[in-house]
Chain A
Amino acid sequence: MVEKVRVRATLNGEPVDFLVAPYTSLLDTLRDELGLTGTKEGCNDGNCGACTVNMDGRIVDSCCVLGAEIDGSTVETIEGMAEPGKLHLLQQTFLEEAALQCGICTPGFLVSAKALLEKEPHPSETRIRFWLSGNLCRCTGYDKIVKAVQKAAESA
């Protein structure tokens, strides 16, 4: 057994302190070590965006980051998006606009879209489509996802 690495980070606003094998991806760390299964695996090679999380203000595919790499970082996952009892505006507009079908890609889209609106509160449709092109959805054809992001931007 390989020796585990100690990691201290801020996860969804809370301090975390855990041991993880040096080869374990952040995706597996979140899901298997920390019990946060809201972050999904679609490809495990950085091409579908289902595992998107926010790390120090940037969106990353958590399958392509090691768990040990978040030492000293601030990480936000889908589980940290809503406030207690209150959905984030994007979560609300995704529901209202029927922007999800099977829902497996939804956490990744929400984390990506949140990062976009924090950076650019009023993006154009083209900009939204470009920004979200790292997240694959096979159910919706993206139409309602784009409209949900537009609606959130308009009502913010």
Chain B
Amino acid sequence: MVTDTTKGKYNVIGTRPIRHDGYDKVTGRAIYGADITLPGLLQGAILRSPHAHARIKSIDTSAAAAMPGVHAVITHTDFPAAEDTLVDLGEGAVNFRYASNNVMAGDKVLYRGHPVAAVAAVDKNTALEAASLIKVEYEVLKPVTKVMDAMKPGAPIVLEDLEGQDLGEKIDGQTNQANHFRHEFGDVDKGFAQADLVIEHEYDTAMVHQGYIEPHNATATWDEDDRITVWTSTQGAFAARRQIAGVLRVPDSQVKVIPLEIGGGFGGKIPTYLEPVAAILARKSGRPVKLLMERTSVFESTGPTPGSWMHVKVGVKNDGTITAATADLRFDAGAYPGSPVGAAAMCVFSAYDIPNTRIDGYDIVVNKPKTAAYRAPGATHAAFAMETVVDEICEKIGMDPLEFRIQNAAKEGTRRADGPIHPKIGAIETHQAAMQSDHWKTPLENAPDGKLRGRGVATGYWFNIGLKSVVTIAVNEDGTVALTEGSTDIGGSRASIAMMAAEVLGIPVEDVRPHVADTEGIGYTDVTGGSRTTYATGYAAHDAAQDVVTQLLERAAKLWDVEPDEVEFSNGSYQSKSDPELRLSHKELSSKLGSTGGPVVGTASVDPEGAGGAYSTQIADVEIDPETGKTDVIRFTVVQDVGTAIHPAYVEGQMQGAAAQGIGWALNEEYFFNDDGQMVNSSFLDYRMPTSYDLPEIETIIVEVPNPGHPFGVRGVGEVPIVPPVAAIANAIHDALGIRFRETPINPGRIRAALEAKE
């Protein structure tokens, strides 16, 4: 279902064309990162630490290097000493020293799966066998994997040279606390004193993984003139280039990254892991080298989203007005600083208008893989805490949870707790659409055979980002256009970008051929992340198409021997203002380019700042078997303000896919660590993500409150729908059982234990 704000306004936007890259993807022809092959290609293998925390006493690679078929063996001594420089990658920053240490350990391993050596050989088996011949002597150290344990005095120290910060002051001595920041507004003590009811709780969430189906991969060559070429699946070719160059200590321009099709990312394919290793193996062997990651290593050695400890406290008056709120958010960053706790702090209270707030955020290093972005990173954690507190408030003051959210909703002009003022946003419209939904209006029926049913609702906010995008549009003489963009396409963005260009040019979307270029084929473009691609690259496509229109107006004027301002463009046609006979369609005019000055290419480079936040409100119905503790989601509705839905089918797909990930997060998914800090469920069998049989139909309601910061009103869509599901399900489980769960996942074991404790 789509609300009708933009109905009839556009010709192409809002339709559901077949995506341009679809044919290659349903026939197996599309070339993903792992599919590339090159003449003389060697296969690589990485030896990884079996320990979560250990000092490396020695590495002996002699037996591996002597094995027939082995062309190169490398350790950290083959890497240049990386600079201690923090570089912004668009969505999250990277310190090259840590990035280098993460792809190849130095004198210490910091998590199980940390790479310690790598091999390139004639085939995969030889490489694996050679890697197994490398002897590493470890001095095993005690690991720390929980954020609150890592903050205790006397905790094992993960990074001995970490300079910790606390509210802007340097911490004396060794610490696992990378940072502690605070956002304060109003007077929380006064606010809580005004409250009739104060609810506060502690929360604990487990680390979870993005779970993209395609493992990481990288293929590299290092030429005689020191040109490095890397083929990989990445969310951003330029971000990959910057990281590779930073770790290898070469200028960015010495590295060319060719992004191949990418099999899912959700934030996890912004960091590079294999790319610099493949490059150094290629230099040492003088041959192209390919590295493919195994699924176990994807779990153990890439960038999941943090586990967390949180405390949230909210005060309300009996009439439902929120008077004050505080949050203490402590996230495990993994082995190096940089958890998404900053983003969590930006989101935790941002669905509401609260006069007095204080938010503390802690970034804590632990012996786990370095966390990466995962779809609205940090916001899902924060919403789990805030939205279950809100649910309890509504229960205690006897107020409808959607009415409460509407009454307290953030709107245009509301100050966000961390400072910025909300532009035009659609929180209220989203809640209202949820209230009017068939799901909300249909009472939940009792379950048969002793099972227990409950309904929960929750909302979520994500700020979205803009950043840099470049698009070029070349006009072909047959009237079609070739659109080149730097945004890698993970979920159908070629189509939405092409649709915006087609809308401006007044041509069918099939006449736009979108193409994702490598780092030498287009200007710098930031990652496909932060829900920015349809927004910012779409903005660039709009502007590049406008540039084409401007140039075509000049060509028409030239043809008719009039001034350009005497020609106008409307409904896809160029026409003389004075002579109605003089009129050419885009296609007709395109055929005359050769005789009027040569090819026309439109370009645009943008860095727009009006991304505008997005809201999603979700309704979950669950059915719980008290015998087994198993929870089934029996109905689920995602309501979301998307600004303008460019390709509604792919907008719905984002909403549905995020909800499914959130359902897995709520009910089942977790990194399960043993006392030695080893993940013991590092396979898809044991880290069980939802299957088609675990999920119901996921209903979608698209709300369109156009974003004034985009020519077509687009807001980012991809991330916010993963924010509410965990809280919505926790609230539904409470409705069914009368029990509040404050840890994730809410799995059958937890439910059985809670039911037994209640009895």
- Chain A interfacial positions (CB closer than 8 Å to B): 21, 23, 28, 31, 36-45, 47-48, 50, 77-79, 81-82, 87, 91, 94-98, 100-107, 110, 125, 128-130, 132-146
CB pair B262 A141 closer than 8 Å: no
Q: Is B251 an interface residue (CB 8 A)?
A: no
Q: Give B127 Cβ to nearest chain A Cβ, in Å.
A: 13
**CA of A39 to CA of B692, assembled, Å:** 20
- For residue A36, which residues in chain B have a CB less than 8 angstroms away from its CB? 28
**CA of A79 to CA of B29, assembled, Å:** 8
CB pair B684 A43 closer than 8 Å: yes
CB pair B685 A45 closer than 8 Å: yes
Q: Is B492 an interface residue (CB 8 A)?
A: yes
Q: Which of B22, B31, B695 has the most CB of A within 10 A?
A: B22
Q: Is B577 an interface residue (CB 8 A)?
A: no
CB pair B660 A79 closer than 8 Å: no
CB pair B653 A133 closer than 8 Å: no
**With A50-B214, A81-B27 already in contact, 5 other A-B pairs whose C-beta atoms are closer than 8 Å:** A43-B684, A81-B28, A103-B21, A106-B25, A138-B210
- For residue A100, which residues in chain B have a CB less than 8 angstroms away from its CB? 22, 25-26
- For residue B657, which residues in chain A have a CB less than 8 angstroms away from its CB? 101, 138-141
CB pair A102 B212 closer than 8 Å: yes
- For residue B214, which residues in chain A have a CB less than 8 angstroms away from its CB? 40, 42, 50, 102, 104
Given that A138-B264, A139-B264, A139-B491 are contacting pairs, would A145 and B692 also be in contact in the complex, using a CB cutoff of 8 Å? yes
Q: Is B691 an interface residue (CB 8 A)?
A: yes
Q: Give B638 Cβ to nearest chain A Cβ, in Å.
A: 9
Q: Is B121 an interface residue (CB 8 A)?
A: no
The one of A41, A136, A138 in contact with B34, judged by C-beta atoms closer than 8 angstroms, is: A41
Q: Is B211 an interface residue (CB 8 A)?
A: yes
B residues 674-702 near A (Cβ < 8 Å) are: 683-685, 689, 691-695, 697-698
The one of B215, B649, B691 in contact with A144, judged by C-beta atoms closer than 8 angstroms, is: B649
**CA of A89 to CA of B211, assembled, Å:** 29
CB pair B491 A101 closer than 8 Å: yes
Given that A37-B35, A96-B18, A102-B262 are contacting pairs, would A129 and B693 also be in contact in the complex, using a CB cutoff of 8 Å? yes
A sample of 26 inter-chain contacts (CB < 8 A) reads: A23-B125, A37-B34, A38-B29, A42-B295, A47-B685, A48-B295, A48-B684, A50-B214, A78-B28, A94-B26, A95-B19, A98-B492, A102-B262, A103-B21, A103-B26, A104-B213, A104-B214, A105-B213, A106-B26, A138-B264, A138-B266, A139-B491, A141-B659, A143-B656, A144-B649, A144-B653
The one of A37, A87, A133 in contact with B691, judged by C-beta atoms closer than 8 angstroms, is: A133
Given that A45-B295, A144-B649 are contacting pairs, would A136 and B691 also be in contact in the complex, using a CB cutoff of 8 Å? yes
- For residue A28, which residues in chain B have a CB less than 8 angstroms away from its CB? 124
CB pair B649 A102 closer than 8 Å: no
**CA of A138 to CA of B264, assembled, Å:** 8
A96 (CB) vs chain B CBs: closest residue: B18
Q: Which of A28, A45, A125, A139 has the most CB of B within 10 A?
A: A139
B residues 622-654 near A (Cβ < 8 Å) are: 647, 649-650, 652-654
Q: Is B406 an interface residue (CB 8 A)?
A: no
Over the window 311-329 of chain B, the binary record of Cβ atoms lying under 8 Å from chain A Cβ atoms (1 yes, 0 no) is 0000000000000000000
CB pair A42 B294 closer than 8 Å: no
Q: Give A63 Cβ to nearest chain B Cβ, in Å.
A: 10
Q: Is B263 an interface residue (CB 8 A)?
A: yes
A87 (CB) vs chain B CBs: closest residue: B26
Q: Give A127 Cβ to nearest chain B Cβ, in Å.
A: 10
- For residue B250, which residues in chain A have a CB less than 8 angstroms away from its CB? none
- For residue B27, which residues in chain A have a CB less than 8 angstroms away from its CB? 38, 78-79, 81-82, 87, 91
Q: Is B576 an interface residue (CB 8 A)?
A: no
B266 (CB) vs chain A CBs: closest residue: A138
Given that A79-B27, A95-B18, A98-B649 are contacting pairs, would A136 and B32 also be in contact in the complex, using a CB cutoff of 8 Å? no
Q: Is B10 an interface residue (CB 8 A)?
A: no
B664 (CB) vs chain A CBs: closest residue: A138
CB pair A140 B656 closer than 8 Å: yes
Q: Is B719 an interface residue (CB 8 A)?
A: no
Q: Which of A21, A23, A47, A138 has the most CB of B within 10 A?
A: A138
CB pair B25 A137 closer than 8 Å: no
A2 (CB) vs chain B CBs: closest residue: B125
**CA of A110 to CA of B212, assembled, Å:** 18
Q: Is B261 an interface residue (CB 8 A)?
A: yes
Over the window 512-535 of chain B, the binary record of Cβ atoms lying under 8 Å from chain A Cβ atoms (1 yes, 0 no) is 000000000000000000000000
Q: Give B212 Cβ to nearest chain A Cβ, in Å.
A: 6
The one of B32, B212, B659 in contact with A138, judged by C-beta atoms closer than 8 angstroms, is: B212
- For residue A139, which residues in chain B have a CB less than 8 angstroms away from its CB? 264, 491, 653, 657
Number of interface residues of B (CB under 8 A): 59
Q: Which of A31, A98, A110, A137 has the most CB of B within 10 A?
A: A98
A21 (CB) vs chain B CBs: closest residue: B125
B493 (CB) vs chain A CBs: closest residue: A101
The one of A81, A136, A143 in contact with B689, judged by C-beta atoms closer than 8 angstroms, is: A136
Q: Give A114 Cβ to nearest chain B Cβ, in Å.
A: 12
- For residue A48, which residues in chain B have a CB less than 8 angstroms away from its CB? 213, 295, 684
Q: Is B558 an interface residue (CB 8 A)?
A: no
The one of A44, A77, A132, A140 in contact with B653, judged by C-beta atoms closer than 8 angstroms, is: A140
Q: Give B683 Cβ to nearest chain A Cβ, in Å.
A: 6
**CA of A94 to CA of B661, assembled, Å:** 21
CB pair B656 A144 closer than 8 Å: yes
**CA of A133 to CA of B683, assembled, Å:** 16
**CA of A111 to CA of B228, assembled, Å:** 38
CB pair A104 B650 closer than 8 Å: no
Q: Give A130 Cβ to nearest chain B Cβ, in Å.
A: 5
CB pair B692 A138 closer than 8 Å: no
Given that A101-B492, A102-B212 are contacting pairs, would A107 and B22 also be in contact in the complex, using a CB cutoff of 8 Å? no
A37 (CB) vs chain B CBs: closest residue: B35
Q: Give B726 Cβ to nearest chain A Cβ, in Å.
A: 15
CB pair B659 A38 closer than 8 Å: no
CB pair A107 B28 closer than 8 Å: yes
Q: Is B227 an interface residue (CB 8 A)?
A: no
- For residue A40, which residues in chain B have a CB less than 8 angstroms away from its CB? 32, 34, 213-214, 263
- For residue A110, which residues in chain B have a CB less than 8 angstroms away from its CB? 26
CB pair B695 A142 closer than 8 Å: yes
B213 (CB) vs chain A CBs: closest residue: A42
Q: Give A30 Cβ to nearest chain B Cβ, in Å.
A: 10
- For residue B262, which residues in chain A have a CB less than 8 angstroms away from its CB? 102
Q: Give B707 Cβ to nearest chain A Cβ, in Å.
A: 23
CB pair B692 A135 closer than 8 Å: yes
Given that A42-B215, A107-B28, A141-B698 are contacting pairs, would A129 and B692 also be in contact in the complex, using a CB cutoff of 8 Å? yes
Q: Give A150 Cβ to nearest chain B Cβ, in Å.
A: 11
Q: Is B601 an interface residue (CB 8 A)?
A: no
**CA of A139 to CA of B653, assembled, Å:** 8
The one of A43, A81, A95, A97 in contact with B23, judged by C-beta atoms closer than 8 angstroms, is: A95
Q: Is B593 an interface residue (CB 8 A)?
A: no
**CA of A31 to CA of B28, assembled, Å:** 11
B211 (CB) vs chain A CBs: closest residue: A138
The one of A38, A96, A132 in contact with B28, judged by C-beta atoms closer than 8 angstroms, is: A38
**CA of A110 to CA of B685, assembled, Å:** 22
Q: Give B494 Cβ to nearest chain A Cβ, in Å.
A: 12
**CA of A104 to CA of B264, assembled, Å:** 8
Q: Is B30 an interface residue (CB 8 A)?
A: yes
Q: Which 3 interchain pairs have the tightest Cβ spacing?
A: A38-B28, A104-B263, A141-B660
- For residue A44, which residues in chain B have a CB less than 8 angstroms away from its CB? 294-295
- For residue B452, which residues in chain A have a CB less than 8 angstroms away from its CB? none
Over the window 261-287 of chain B, the binary record of Cβ atoms lying under 8 Å from chain A Cβ atoms (1 yes, 0 no) is 111111000000000000000000000
B490 (CB) vs chain A CBs: closest residue: A102
Q: Give B516 Cβ to nearest chain A Cβ, in Å.
A: 13
Q: Give B631 Cβ to nearest chain A Cβ, in Å.
A: 17
**CA of A36 to CA of B27, assembled, Å:** 11
CB pair A138 B215 closer than 8 Å: no
**CA of A44 to CA of B684, assembled, Å:** 10
**CA of A46 to CA of B663, assembled, Å:** 23
- For residue B210, which residues in chain A have a CB less than 8 angstroms away from its CB? 138
- For residue B16, which residues in chain A have a CB less than 8 angstroms away from its CB? 98
